Structure 1
Amino acid sequence: MAVDPSGAALAALRTHAPNEPVVMLNLLRFAPGGRDAYQEYSRRAAPFLRQYGGELLYAGDGGAPLVAEDGQAWDAVLLVRYPSRDAFSRMVADPEYQRITTLRSQALSEAVLQPTVPWARRGRD
């Protein structure tokens, strides 16, 4: 299962409103023992988040879904706001940040990383 964005996905991200703020939805499924590794990744990623203007809006454990198909339950949910898609792209391309991404990759068995756009802006795009 995929846990890291591909180069093509990152390139596509920058083509749509690259200078507009974006909130990234993170749905995480931990590998066995992965929760501790993800917490270490989060601790080490925090300075990069600040450096690129990001802000953790919400982080919480996933509960039992009320409406979902089998296999759609997630261990954790995060919402992270970035000042722009470009800022997010620059962060993930930062060589120092890339050194810690193995922690994230090893911690997860599956993930969704989805950019979101506020409904109030939908008509402008």
Structure 2
Amino acid sequence: MAVNPREEDLKRFVAEDPGGPVVMLNLLRFAPDGEASYQEYARRTGPFLKRHGGKVLYAGQGSTALVAEDGQDWDAVLVVQYPSREAFLRMVADPEYHEVTALRTEALSEAVLQATIPWQTSAKASPG
């Protein structure tokens, strides 16, 4: 399973840009003994987030899955906001950032990294 964005995914990410900030959903499944490596990755990427205007909105461990098939639960969830898709791309293209991405790659057995677009009406935002 892929744990890092591929070039064609990044191109689509740019092509579908509606403008404005982007919130990235990260669903993480750790490899055996991968949580410590991911924690180190997270610690070391803090300066890159700050440099490119990103901020962590939420980070937490997965808990009880109420609606999920077997194997669809996740070890951790991370929600990160960037001022734009371009800011995210500048961060992932930063040569210094590339030096720490191996920690993320070795930490994960599976991941989802998905851009989100805010809903425009409150009717869509009702829970459940």
Structure 1 stretch displaced more, 61-70 or 43-52: 61-70
Deviation at 1:43, TM superposition (A): 0.5
2:120 alignment partner, SS class: helix
Q: List runs of 5+ in structure 2 lacking aligned partners.
A: 122-128
8 Å CA contact retained: 1:19, 1:86: no
- Aligned pairs for 1:40-79 (under 5 A) are 40-79=40-79
Cα gap change, 1:18/1:87 in structure 2, threshold over 3 Å: closer, same or farther? Answer: farther
- Aligned pairs for 1:27-106 (under 5 A) are 27-106=27-106
Deviation at 1:18, TM superposition (A): 6.2
Q: Could you state the TM-score of these two structures normalised by the residue count of structure 1?
A: 0.93
Deviation at 1:87, TM superposition (A): 0.5
Residue 4 of structure 2 aligns with which residue? 4
User: Residue type matched to 1:84 in 2?
Assistant: S
1:77 alignment partner, SS class: strand
Cα gap change, 1:101/1:94 in structure 2, threshold over 3 Å: closer, same or farther? Answer: same
- CA-based RMSD of the aligned residues comes to 1.1
**Deviations, residues 73-108 of structure 1 (Å, cap 9, x unaligned):** 000000000000111011001111011000000000
Q: Where does structure 1 differ by over 6 angstroms across 4 or more consecutive aligned residues?
A: none
8 Å CA contact retained: 1:27, 1:78: yes
Deviation at 1:19, TM superposition (A): 3.8
Distance 2:18 2:39 in 1: 29
Structure 1 stretch displaced more, 100-109 or 10-19: 10-19
Deviation at 1:69, TM superposition (A): 1.2
Deviation at 1:64, TM superposition (A): 2.2
| Percentage identity across paired residues of the two chains | 63
Residue 124 of structure 2 aligns with which residue? none
Deviation at 1:17, TM superposition (A): 2.2
